[in-house]
Amino acid sequence: MGVRVTPGPAEPSEDHALSEAVRARTAEELRAVREVASNWRTALAAMLTLVTAVSVVRGRDSIAGLAQGARVLVGVLLLLAVVAACVGAFLSSRSAFGIPKEEQAVQRLTDLVAAERARVHRAVRDLRVAIALTFVTLALIVASVGVVWYGPTA
């Protein structure tokens, strides 16, 4: 009866350890970006609700006394505000949750790093555009209110 010696588990290669570190780091970055994006999505949804509520509650009464051009301008400004808020809400949602898609398996570590970094960059880019659209939406709402309050009367 002899003793049988077998090799133990293989030690992870340096590439494997590095790839795991890259995945962990970018997963943390992506989580942080998505958390912030979720909050901005809520802000955009609130602005969209505001535009809708103002339009429905005040409706035609708020623009009835305005000149025809001013009424058209208010309508265009509110339409642009809704479009900006919708696009911003989509982008902040995409930044917060991503869009599921099939990804190719990576063969090299450099490809893995590039793919992971690209995901983070896409989420950050979407979030930046969504933040800008939040302020555009607010500016359009304020402009439409300004035209209603100070626009030429019929």
In this predicted structure, the answer to whether residue 15 has a pLDDT above a threshold of 80 is: no
pLDDT at 55: 65
HEC string of the chain?
CCCCCCCCCCCCCHHHHHHHHHHHHHHHHHHHHHHHHHHHHHHHHHHHHHHHHHHHHHHHHHCCCECHHHHHHHHHHHHHHHHHHHHHHHHHHHHHHCCCCCCCCCCCHHHHHHHHHHHHHHHHHHHHHHHHHHHHHHHHHHHHHHHHHHCCEC
Encode pLDDT of 17-67 as tens digits.
777 777 777 778 778 888 887 777 787 778 778 777 766 656 667 777 889
pLDDT at 24: 79
- What are the domain boundaries of the chain? 14-98+107-150
Among 3-7, 32-36, 77-81, 104-108, the range of highest mean pLDDT: 77-81
Encode pLDDT of 57-81 as tens digits.
566 677 778 899 999 998 899 889 8
pLDDT at 8: 62
Instruction: Answer whether 20's CB lies under 8 Å from 109's CB.
Output: no
The pTM of this model reads: 0.70
Lowest-confidence pick of 68-77, 95-104, 123-132: 95-104
Residues 104-124 have a mean pLDDT of 78
Q: Is 98 left (phi over 0), alpha (psi -120 to 50) or beta?
A: left
Among 6-10, 51-55, 97-101, 133-137, the range of highest mean pLDDT: 133-137
pLDDT at 36: 80
